[in-house]
Chains A and B, each alone.
Chain A
């Protein structure tokens, strides 16, 4: 009934040139806009305020409190924190661990997904359910055995332990996602390549991987960032300072409650910066991937 009315109306009244909706604003629209702007600011304030205080001297902080705008760029707190935890080393560890996991995790996902999505190996759907479960499962149920096994194997307190564990955990998700993409891979392309004499290995790397590149890039970026943000297993595995990642070093220091206010905000600022850099570099991939990552 309503639909019919809606369709009939333009015919009855000759359609005036449609007024763009954005011009028809009423006061309540502005109330909504104002409310959302306030909310957006509230969401950002904690981060801004941390950045401000990271740039203050301790005296300035104790005299003017956390809410005042800093007088100038004072990097003492940042420098003090940087040297105290050897932040460069932590950054390097995080980059090495997350980068290696991203690459190895993607390779493993590709191999698995090739067998499951294109090869349609028997028991495929059960394996996929199993992988999804593994990805959703709390790491609390793995952490003690992994800790124990890594000690037995001499991998405890090495970056290898974390790299191996997260390669597998991330590829569980990657396999699940990539398989669901590869199931719909155009079969004629595969057959054409086979007729041209390509073997399975060549088909994978010359046909399947290049065509699935958008999904693979999303996985690469997400594996990197997810691994960067991991906390429980790296905290347990990486005991010595020189092996720790950014998250672990920051979390442990925070837990000890030994930092003064400016150093603590400096640590938070230094933790935020790499994330913002990733965001700026990978913005497009990320916004494309958020809805894909929604399955996680």
Chain B
């Protein structure tokens, strides 16, 4: 107990900045409140409304699209790239070449997400944007499009931008995972006549399974907090075509001043995150046990 004093500042700040606000958010979610005046207790009303709210469900479908754009697709691409860089480039062209290529692919991850958003909304701009100019320059002008402004393409465009932004993260993690795979396994498989694809699948993927799991969970949780991306690229538009729960809660808090309703959206979002985080911790503990 002699160490307890060291914990007190941290504990007090934690209670003030995280625990109390979080409890308040849950409390607010049971009220009707415009942010001023006294909140009116409405019980589960907001949650019942949520279940019926088509905008909320639409935002959830977009969230699933974002899980693909920010988690599954980048992880899949990152896995193939990591295998190519480790296996082909690293071995045949030298570790230096592999490092340089990895660094280039990682660069977007270094940008503040807001800046990445500005870069892409400028590239995808309808009239003067580089994407449309490029299409015109190669004679495909008929494909030019208001990528982020058309409800049909907006979500796809956001997904493409997210894939570009995210690939570097799984790539780096997977490459570092592949370094600890025992080369003897590959040599044995090679002598056995296993194809590259079979070695990739049975050795690489199996051996770095913990990394794959961790990357998928982290990026999925990250995709639930996609407020900045959506704010800068589309503001949830056009007509809600790219709205996600994260942005929807913000809209309810500050644009529509339906604070109670926004709080219920944020609470649901947190519940999902906690479920994922618990799964994450479980898996991490299990891999630690296996590792010992």
A residues sitting closer than 8 Å to B (CB atoms) are 2-3, 5-6, 9, 21-22, 24-25, 29, 32-33, 36-37, 39-41, 43-44, 46-47, 49-50, 53, 61-62, 65-67, 108, 111-112, 114-116, 118-122, 129, 131-134, 136-149, 164-165, 167-169, 171-172, 175, 200, 204, 228-229, 231-232, 235-236, 246-247, 250-251, 254-255, 261, 264-265, 267-268, 271-272, 275-276, 279, 290-291, 294-296
B residues sitting closer than 8 Å to A (CB atoms) are 1-4, 6-7, 9-10, 13-14, 16-18, 20-22, 24-25, 28, 35, 81, 84-85, 88-89, 91-94, 97, 101, 104-105, 107-108, 110-115, 117-123, 125, 128-130, 133-134, 137, 164, 167-168, 172-173, 176, 184, 187-189, 191-192, 214-215, 218, 221, 224-225, 227-228, 231-232, 235, 245-246, 249-250, 253-254, 259, 262-263, 265-267, 269-270, 273-274, 277, 280-281
Whether the Cβ atoms of B18 and A247 lie closer than 8 Å is: no
**Which of A49, A133, A142 interacts with B130 by CB under 8 Å?**
A49
What B residues does A49 contact at CB under 8 A? 123, 130
* Residue of A21, A65, A122, A171 with highest tally of chain B CB at under 10 A: A65
Chain B proximity of A272: nearest CB distance (Å): 6
Q: List 13 A-B contacts (CB under 8 A).
A: A33-B93, A44-B107, A47-B108, A65-B133, A111-B7, A112-B10, A119-B4, A136-B273, A141-B22, A144-B28, A229-B112, A247-B115, A279-B110
**Which of A41, A61, A169, A296 interacts with B17 by CB under 8 Å?**
A169
What B residues does A46 contact at CB under 8 A? 108, 119-120, 123, 164
Distance between Cα atoms of A172 and B14 in the complex (Å): 8
Distance between Cα atoms of A148 and B263 in the complex (Å): 13
Distance between Cα atoms of A147 and B262 in the complex (Å): 14
Query: A39-B81, A275-B112 in contact; A25/B4 too (CB < 8 A)?
Result: no
Whether the Cβ atoms of B250 and A231 lie closer than 8 Å is: no
Whether the Cβ atoms of B92 and A25 lie closer than 8 Å is: yes
Whether the Cβ atoms of B84 and A36 lie closer than 8 Å is: yes
Whether the Cβ atoms of B17 and A294 lie closer than 8 Å is: no
Whether the Cβ atoms of B3 and A121 lie closer than 8 Å is: yes
Chain B contact residues: over half helix, strand or loop, or mixed?
A: helix
Whether the Cβ atoms of A275 and B111 lie closer than 8 Å is: yes
Whether the Cβ atoms of A43 and B104 lie closer than 8 Å is: yes
What B residues does A29 contact at CB under 8 A? 88, 92-93
Chain B proximity of A42: nearest CB distance (Å): 8
Chain B proximity of A278: nearest CB distance (Å): 8
Whether the Cβ atoms of B232 and A255 lie closer than 8 Å is: yes
**Which of A22, A175, A291 interacts with B93 by CB under 8 Å?**
A22
Whether the Cβ atoms of A149 and B110 lie closer than 8 Å is: no
Distance between Cα atoms of A132 and B227 in the complex (Å): 21
Distance between Cα atoms of A109 and B274 in the complex (Å): 22
What A residues does B94 contact at CB under 8 A? 22
Q: Across the two chains, which residue of chain A brings its CB closest to B3?
A: A119
Q: Across the two chains, which residue of chain A brings its CB closest to B115?
A: A271
Q: Across the two chains, which residue of chain B brings its CB closest to A261?
A: B128
What B residues does A3 contact at CB under 8 A? 184, 188
Whether the Cβ atoms of B192 and A2 lie closer than 8 Å is: yes
Q: Across the two chains, which residue of chain A brings its CB closest to B13?
A: A168
Whether the Cβ atoms of B2 and A25 lie closer than 8 Å is: no
Q: Across the two chains, which residue of chain A brings its CB closest to B277?
A: A136
Query: A138-B224, A255-B232, A291-B173 in contact; A261/B122 too (CB < 8 A)?
Result: yes
Whether the Cβ atoms of A140 and B91 lie closer than 8 Å is: no
What B residues does A40 contact at CB under 8 A? 101, 104-105
The 5 closest A-B pairs by CB, nearest first: A119-B3, A271-B115, A145-B21, A40-B104, A145-B24
**Which of A32, A122, A132, A144 interacts with B25 by CB under 8 Å?**
A144
**Which of A44, A168, A271 interacts with B14 by CB under 8 Å?**
A168
Chain A proximity of B255: nearest CB distance (Å): 12
Supplied contacts A6-B191, A46-B164, 17 more A-B pairs, CB within 8 Å? A2-B192, A5-B188, A33-B93, A49-B130, A65-B133, A120-B3, A121-B7, A122-B1, A136-B277, A138-B266, A142-B22, A144-B263, A168-B13, A232-B250, A250-B115, A251-B117, A272-B111
